Amino acid sequence: MLKALVLTLALLAGAAQAGRSCDTQPPKVETVTRGLELAERTARALDASGAEVVVLARAGQDLSAYGLRWSHLGFAYRLKPPAAGGAGDAPGTWRVVHKLNDCGSDRAGLYRQGLGEFFLDSPHRYEAAFVPLQGQAAEQLAPLLRDSRAVQRLHQPRYSMVSYAWGTRYQQSNQWLLETFALIEPGVRDRETAQAWLKLKGFQPSRLHINAMTRLGARATRANVAFDDHPNAQRFAGRIDTVGADAVLTWLQQNRFGGAPVYIR
């Protein structure tokens, strides 16, 4: 049964890889198997945590050159049990809401997936981490994440994978998650007020050091990379401040919005 499921998902995985380059070649069965195995380990760890909502990290790309361990974040939440006698997902089923770049273009969209799909994206490392959200953060985010209209509230479809952490021209995946998290604050109305609240709460962006030649090459060859939203003084000095997954996980702990990270290997 598991082998049949793996083969089926391998054939369908093009839809699951919406944040990648949209390669028309199906992934190898081994890749799908390892992704599903990581999803199973993650599901067990999420169940054991007792959490209802977590921030979930994966290592989709190798960012070790920038001192970063994780590349991509999503909100994972536990589905409500189906009504008595009714059909629906089994109690304890988890879903992930996250933002994905569309086939290397300058646009991105929000996706609601299962854990299996979340880890079918040929990650650099078959590892994951999550921070269980607590108190007010979990209580307010749980209904928001189940509402497809509410999760779109601060979404900006114009995408750059290195978008400026304090800008609004573009928005990368981790930036959408962080700004959406800010909606737990009643005064947050838009991206500007979300960023103001995040500054007040001490969020520190990840600073990438990218030289001029690398910036020019990336901008000329990749539609999903732009630097023109960064302040000139920082950009010309090669200091690129963006929202890194590691920085978000650290900030959540520092502000006691969540518990210690749980690592899955």
> Exposure of 248 by Cβ count < 10 A (0-12 exposed, 13-18 middle, 19+ buried)?
buried
CA–CA distance, 181 with 50 (Å, rounded to integer): 20
Going residue by residue through the chain, which has 265 residues, state the pLDDT in tens, using 9 for 90 and above. 333 333 222 322 333 333 445 666 777 888 899 999 999 999 999 999 999 999 999 999 999 999 999 999 999 999 875 554 455 555 569 999 999 999 999 999 999 999 999 998 788 999 999 999 999 999 999 999 999 999 999 999 999 999 999 999 999 999 999 999 999 999 999 999 999 999 999 999 999 999 998 998 888 889 999 999 999 999 999 999 999 999 999 999 999 999 999 999 9
Whether residue 22 is contained in a domain is answered as no
Residues forming a β-bridge with 241: 207
CA–CA distance, 197 with 202 (Å, rounded to integer): 9
Task: Find the domain containing 59 and state its range.
Answer: 2-15+29-264
CA–CA distance, 114 with 109 (Å, rounded to integer): 16
Counting the structural domains of the chain, the total is 1
Whether residue 222 is contained in a domain is answered as yes
Whether residue 24 is contained in a domain is answered as no
Q: Alpha helix locations (H) across 17-125?
A: 29-49, 115-118
CA–CA distance, 39 with 126 (Å, rounded to integer): 10
Whether residue 209 is contained in a domain is answered as yes
